[in-house]
Each structure stands twice: as structure tokens, then as C-alpha cells.
Structure 1
Amino acid sequence: MDQPAVKFFHYKDKEQSSNLLLQLNRLRQENVLTDVSLCSDNNEIPCHRNVLVSSSPYFRAMFCNNFLEKQQTKINLKGITSAILSSIIDYVYTGLISVSVDIVLPLMQAASMLQYSRIFEACSNFLQEQLSPDNCLSMIRLSEIMNCNSLRDKAKEMAMNSFSDVSASEDLCELSLPELMGYLEDDSLCAEEEQVFETLVAWIHHDPLSRRGAISDLFKKVRLRHIHPTYLFQFIANDPLIQSSTLCNELIESVRRLMFSVNTKCIDTAVDFKPLWVAPRRYSYHDILVVVGGRKNNEQTSREALVFDEKSEKWQLLAKLPIRLYKASYVALHSVLYVIGGLTTNTKYSQLSTTVYTLSLKTNQWRTVEPMLEPRFAHQSVSYLHFIFVLGGLGPDRRLTDTVERYNSMFNQWESMAPMPVAVLHPAVAATNQRIFVFGGEDAMQNPVRIIQVYHIARNMWSKMENRTVKNVSAPAAIMDDKIYIIGGYTRRVIAYDTKANRFIKCANLKERRMHHSATVLNNKLYVTGGRYVNGHDVIEDSDNFEYYDPKTDTWTSKGTLPYKLFDHGSLTLTHVSQTWAKS
């Protein structure tokens, strides 16, 4: 017959270890079976060797090897106060210890010496909670003295993320040259390049006699390509420190030649400028999508500006435009949003505007710059290098115009340029490789124009060519990888013009016939917002659509909706440092 299976009951007493420690602590307090005393400041703390050996590699080595202490009943621990030693022994027997500002440093030193790693990390965690931009550099120094990696990493992270605040601290001026260089060359430094420059200048001025010679090495860490030209040429170039350095002057002159020649392929310079010019943006810089102006819910022109938060996938409000503008143009340059011209609708009688409004995400405030030479609306604007070009639209007599103006952001000046060969309304416009491309549009009789007009920026000359593929009206254009994408325009069609091969490539269609929408490139994807579309009954409706096109997969993906229906608006990509833009 089969024998019955033997059953086991596995019992685990969860309170056994804690009760055992409790009893050992009671024995210690009653001085029962204690066999060694730890001495400090003429105070003796009775202990059990086996408990000390079990709690620390330091005591294990002391009592389990052939050291003198193995035979001694009293051990004198130098460099540790009796209060700190008593706290550590209490921890050994109870698992509890209190860390405060007054004792954290001596406790950390004692924990390091006696090899109590968990007390050491508890002290590190306590110090990490005290971290601030004012003390993080001091904490880094402390972490190096204590050889505490966790504290050093957290303090370094704060120094990188809060560099604008840290740079104003006295501690920064005490950094060595290699330490400062380490910060300034780090891709993850959370600071604008202007701030990087101001920091190195402040550091040198703290001890000019010994530090002046470092100006050229430090200046190479400033990523000149990502500095606003006005700041570079009017402020940095005139700084006495920069003027005292031949190399710094050569670097600035190289940028100046590059800007004014309007030719990115021709850099004639005595210094090896190219590696400095192509230095990437720091990781803390992020591109974000901003939607501004337009006609809201088909009721009235909108003063609202919205920013899309990719993490939360929600829209947030920026400061409102100072005035309602109908068919203004919208363009981004040096991380600043420009709203140009338009028809004012705040007054009883609408009026053409020459005003140029700007919005910086850093201040979240609207300002004005030099107005255009002539008023216009329903025009196009495009940026290239430090210029903004304004093309066509409806002029002072509200008739179609072929005039072109150029704004120089370095000198805050407008000038007239060569007019377009053919005046067109609502074309698709994009600038790349020293040229502005104007695709299609419609003439004064509202007939589609099947031509491509090309403006050569350096030569201030136009050329044109007929092309049967072009038939777009009220369609935006955007550039990705040397291709100009033309999206819709009273059609579902999306085409990409390869500027190098001079040919068109067909892309995946939109879901419906779309016009008066806006488009921008963000993280190598083409985002399209709002507009109007033709429904299944051939009726034109407003749209709150928000979607993107991925050129790698040739597919469209919905990103949800805008907060309201919108058309004739601006959709732009602006760069900011982390969350430096102020939420309104």
C-alpha cells in the first residue's frame, strides 16, 4: 500500500530578528555578557564583540585578525566624539539613528571610518535634501572630500539644471579652470549661451591677474551659432576681455563673415572655426510647438498664443497678443516669435498695419521692433540666418503687391529688396540653401498660378519656372532633410520638392481637402494644425485638427485636437531651455 505523503509546515517568525536585537540591546544596557568597551572622550560604552563584528567590516577585521585589539577589553577610537560614537552604537543595536545639521558631517566621517555604509548613505540622503543652487557647488566639494558618489551626482545634477542661479553664487568664482571648463563644455548644461558667456567673464573678473590668460580657451566653449547675433556683435564683441584676445576676435570675425556673406559653405578664417561652429545645441534645449493668432471658431481674430507641452500632451496659454490682427504673418527667428503686419480689427474701421510684435518664451512678454516699410496683410514671411523676408500680400491700396522687404535682426532695420516676378496670393513659401522658394498661389483673379519663383538671397535676384505639378493655394510649406513639403491647398495632396534633385516626390495624402492651415517641423516630424477643410457634402468647415506626418514611414498620425477651431494662424517651432518660459 502507498505510504501517505509527508507534509511540512514552514514557519517564519517575522518578529524573531527584531526581538533578538531588542534583547541584545537590553543586555548591553544592563552590562550583561559585554566583553569589550569602546572609549572616546574619557567615556566608555560597553558592547558585545560578536554584535560589533556582525555589524561592520571594520570591527570584523579588528577582532577576527591578529591585531592587538583582539586581546584588549578597552578600545580607544580616536577622532570620534563620544556623542557620535554613542549614536552609532545605538544604531547597531536598534537600527535607529537621528541625523541633523549639527552632527551630519562628523557622523558621516565616523560612519566612513567604521564602515557603516547605511549610516553613510543616510547622511548623504539628508544632505541631498538640503541641496539648493546656493550650496550645490559646496556640496560637490564636500562629496569629493567624503568620497560620496551619491551626493556628488545629485549636487552636480542640481548645478547643471539650475546653472542660471548657480552662476550667480560666490562658489562658482572659486572653481578651478578645469572645473569651470567641465561645466561649460557639458552638453547637458541647462543655460542659454549668453549665460555661459557672462559666467566665464564673471569668473575671470574674480581674479583677473591670474585668469585673464584663460579667456580664449573658455570662449571656445561658448556655442556661437546659438547666440542671438545682436548680443554677439554688439555686446560680446565689444567686451574688453574679448577685444584683448586675438583668437576671440578672429572667432567673432569668422561668424560675422559667415552671416554677412550669406554663404554657409565659405568660411575663410585663420583659426579652425568649423568644429566650433557645428557644435550642437545643449541637451537642455528643447523645441516646442507654438500656435498663435488666426480666426478662432470662425467668430473673430484671436489674440491667443498657445504652447504644446509634449510631456502632458496638453495646450497651455502664453501671453495674449496686444491687438487682434487679421491675416498677419508669423515667423520664428533666434527663438523669438514675430507677428508681422496684418489688418487691425480692434477699431471700428479696419486698418493695415506695419507693426512687428515679438514674443520671447524667456519673458513671455510681447514687444515691438522696427515696423515694416509699408503696411500689408495676407502676406508671407520666412526667416533665413539673421534675416526675415516679407513677400507680397495685399498692400496699402488693398491690391495684390509684388514687393519684398527684408528685416535685419542684428540692426533692427528694414530694407526693400527685388520684387517678385509674379505677384501671387497665398503661395507656399520656404527658405533653404541661400534661396527662397515660392510655390504656386493665386493671381488677382483668384486663378491658381502654376509656377515656382526662386529668390537668390546673396544676389538679390529672382528667377521663375513653370511647373504643372504646382497647383496649391493657401497651403503651408515646411523643410525637412533638403526637401520642401507642400501640404494640401484646396487638395488632399502632399508633395515634397527635392531641392538638390529638382524634382517632386508624392507623399501620403491628407484625410481631407485642407487649406488655410499651418505647418511646422518638430523633432523630425511635420506637424499640421487647424485650417479649413471640404467635407463630404462639398461644404467648407473650420478644423481643430492636430496631426503629424512622419517621412520615415510616410504616414499621418493624429495628435488629438486644438483647444478650438482655428485657421489663418501661425504654427511655429521655438527653442527654449528646459521650462524657462513663463506660464501665464
Structure 2
Amino acid sequence: MSTHTEDEKEECPKCPEPFTAHGKCLDEVRLVFDDQQELYVSQNFLILSSPVFEAMFKNDFKEKQQSAVLLKEKSYTDFHEFLMCIHPGTLKPVTEANVLRIVPIAEEYQVDSIIQSCKSVMKNWLEKEYVSAKSKTGFYMFHIKPTRQCLSILTTSLALNYISLVDNAVDIIAKMPHRIYYGSYKPDTLCTDYHSNTQEINGKKITYRKIIGECKTVFQTLPAELRCTILSKRLALDKDNVVK
């Protein structure tokens, strides 16, 4: 039996990624997205993976007769990433690069194994960002990206009601320079041109100025009580700190 290396699989037209080719399963179901892209999945695979899909196909849902599931307001790319994480042939790991994209899907379809992996990755990510920022105290520029990442984790945790992760994120964000997400920001001596200096986030290079703008926007969308908690904790950590 012939085998393919990883590089060969990427180039081989006969080796499409799982779920992207029609006709691989006798019990195939089409997952149809708003942009009309489709993924092709075994019905039994979905039933075994998710109690939500199990209920859908074992009860009298229209999808049972049509062999198609319309996934409205879902991202084709994110859902494919989620499926790759539960496919027994790939078991793609949950990482910082994909966790915030797949954890809402894992929750919606109640895939407990992925949910637990996502929570663990998010917790470790928060701690890593804090350690990274703490090791470079004194210069705001080194705290800009960690603050943005922590705010992203916080908003996702809040939306999914992950209370423990929300508390962790709040504690860590409170230790970051508050001017990054609230009040005025004054570039330090190592960041004299924060209009053009960049950091890479999610594979894209973004200027410090834009990241700070995003931090302020995200912070303002948080519930008022949570914003007050973060600022109160920040003040308690540094009695000389003045919020401007």
C-alpha cells in the first residue's frame, strides 16, 4: 500500500482534506453555509460526536430527510477547523491559533472533550500573556499585544459564561497598564512611533495605535460592572495610579 508524506498530501489532488470531498461516506450529510460552501460529513460521525446532532438526526427534524443541515451565520472555515479537531484520523490540536474560533462551536454542539481542551488552552494562554508582560515591566509597548489577547479571551469567556476564566482574565488585565484599554495612552521611549510600529496578531501585522484602539473598543463593550471591577483592581494594585 502506498503512503504519502505530509508534503505530498498537501500537493496531491487525490488527497483532499477530510470533510471537503463529496462521496466519501455512505451516510453522508451536507453541512451548508450561508455562502453556499459545503462540508461533507458522516451522519454517524456527527451523532457520535455531538448530542445535539444526535437529537437532530434521531428525531423528526427536516434534516433527517434532506441529508443536509443549514448552518446559518456559521463560518465555513471555523466549522471545518472544529471538525478537524474531532476527526479520529487527524485530531488536530486545540491551540491559541484556533481556540477562540472553535470553542463557541464546541459549546453549541456540546462536545465535552473539545470544551475541556479549549478551557485548558485559554487558561494557559492567559497565564502565558501575563508572564510575558511581567518579564518586561516598565515599557507599555510590551504590554499592548498581551492586553489585546487577554481581552479577547475575556470576551469569549464572558459570552460562554466561563466564570473561572472570566475571573482569571479580569485579574490579569487589571495588572496591565490601564492606559492601553482605558484613558489616554502616551508612547514610551521605546515606542516613539506607535503609529507605524507593529505587532503580529492572528497572522496579521497591526500597528500599536490600532491595537490600542481595539483594546479600548473591546473594553467599552464589557458590562459596566466588569469594567468597574477591572479598574478597581488596577487601582488597588497601585495606589499612586491615576486613571485619566
Shorter-chain TM-score tier = 0.5 to 0.7
Alpha-carbon offset, residue 181 of structure 1: 4.7
Alpha-carbon offset, residue 167 of structure 1: 4.3
Give, in whole Å, the separation in 2 of the partners of 1:75 and 1:66.
Answer: 13
- Which structure's residues are more often helix, by fraction? 2
Give, in whole Å, the separation in 1 of the partners of 2:176 and 2:172.
Answer: 9
Q: 1:50 to 1:32 in 2, by over 3 A?
A: closer
Alpha-carbon offset, residue 99 of structure 1: 4.1
Q: Is 1:52 equivalent to 2:64 in the alignment?
A: no
Alpha-carbon offset, residue 190 of structure 1: 9.8
Contact 1:34-1:46 within 8 A present in 2 as well: no
SS at match of 2:38: strand
Q: 1:62 to 1:81 in 2, by over 3 A?
A: same
Alignment of 1:332-351 (within 5 A): none
Contact 2:170-2:230 within 8 A present in 1 as well: no
Give, in whole Å, the separation in 1 of the partners of 2:59 and 2:24.
Answer: 25
Q: Is 1:83 equivalent to 2:77 in the alignment?
A: yes
Alpha-carbon offset, residue 59 of structure 1: 0.3
Give, in whole Å, the separation in 2 of the partners of 1:46 and 1:34.
Answer: 10
Contact 2:171-2:230 within 8 A present in 1 as well: no
Alpha-carbon offset, residue 65 of structure 1: 1.8
Partner of 2:168: 154
Unaligned stretches of 5+ residues in structure 2: 1-17, 131-145, 184-218
- Scaled by the length of structure 2, the TM-score of the pair is 0.53
Partner of 2:4: none
Alignment of 1:262-273 (within 5 A): none
* 1:278-317 alpha-carbon deviations (Å, 9 max, x no partner): xxxxxxxxxxxxxxxxxxxxxxxxxxxxxxxxxxxxxxxx
Contact 1:125-1:151 within 8 A present in 2 as well: no
Query: Which residue identity does 2:162 align to in structure 1?
Result: C
Give, in whole Å, the separation in 1 of the partners of 2:124 and 2:55.
Answer: 34
Query: Which residue identity does 2:178 align to in structure 1?
Result: A
Give, in whole Å, the separation in 1 of the partners of 2:85 and 2:152.
Answer: 29
Query: Which residue identity does 2:160 align to in structure 1?
Result: M
Alignment of 1:369-408 (within 5 A): none
Contact 1:137-1:172 within 8 A present in 2 as well: no
**Corresponding residue to 1:120 among 115, 121, 130:** 115
Partner of 1:282: none
**Corresponding residue to 1:166 among 166, 176, 180:** 176
Unaligned stretches of 5+ residues in structure 1: 1-24, 206-584
Q: 1:112 to 1:180 in 2, by over 3 A?
A: closer
Contact 2:31-2:68 within 8 A present in 1 as well: yes
Alpha-carbon offset, residue 77 of structure 1: 1.4
Alpha-carbon offset, residue 100 of structure 1: 5.2
Query: Which residue identity does 2:176 align to in structure 1?
Result: V
Alpha-carbon offset, residue 144 of structure 1: 0.9
CA RMSD of aligned residues (A): 3.6
Larger-gyration structure (1/2):
1
Q: 1:90 to 1:34 in 2, by over 3 A?
A: farther
Give, in whole Å, the separation in 1 of the partners of 2:125 and 2:49.
Answer: 29
Give, in whole Å, the separation in 1 of the partners of 2:84 and 2:152.
Answer: 31
Partner of 1:142: 156
**Corresponding residue to 1:69 among 49, 54, 63:** 63
Q: Relative contact order: is structure 1 or structure 2 higher (C-alpha 8 Å, sep ≥ 6)?
A: 2
Contact 1:36-1:46 within 8 A present in 2 as well: yes
Give, in whole Å, the separation in 2 of the partners of 1:142 and 1:53.
Answer: 26
Q: 1:167 to 1:54 in 2, by over 3 A?
A: same
Give, in whole Å, the separation in 2 of the partners of 1:60 and 1:35.
Answer: 15
Contact 2:154-2:169 within 8 A present in 1 as well: yes
Query: Which residue identity does 2:112 align to in structure 1?
Result: S
Partner of 2:86: 92
SS at match of 1:142: helix
- Which structure's residues are more often strand, by fraction? 1
SS at match of 1:130: helix
* 1:300-340 alpha-carbon deviations (Å, 9 max, x no partner): xxxxxxxxxxxxxxxxxxxxxxxxxxxxxxxxxxxxxxxxx
Query: Which residue identity does 1:48 align to in structure 2?
Result: S
Query: Which residue identity does 1:143 align to in structure 2?
Result: S
Give, in whole Å, the separation in 1 of the partners of 2:152 and 2:23.
Answer: 44
Q: Is 1:179 equivalent to 2:193 in the alignment?
A: no
Give, in whole Å, the separation in 1 of the partners of 2:96 and 2:74.
Answer: 17
Partner of 1:391: none
Percent sequence identity is 26
Query: Which residue identity does 2:104 align to in structure 1?
Result: Q
Contact 1:91-1:97 within 8 A present in 2 as well: yes
Give, in whole Å, the separation in 2 of the partners of 1:153 and 1:99.
Answer: 22
Give, in whole Å, the separation in 2 of the partners of 1:32 and 1:183.
Answer: 51
Alpha-carbon offset, residue 114 of structure 1: 2.6
Partner of 1:108: 103
Give, in whole Å, the separation in 2 of the partners of 1:69 and 1:102.
Answer: 32
Alignment of 1:487-498 (within 5 A): none
SS at match of 2:30: strand
Give, in whole Å, the separation in 1 of the partners of 2:167 and 2:47.
Answer: 32
Q: 1:83 to 1:172 in 2, by over 3 A?
A: same
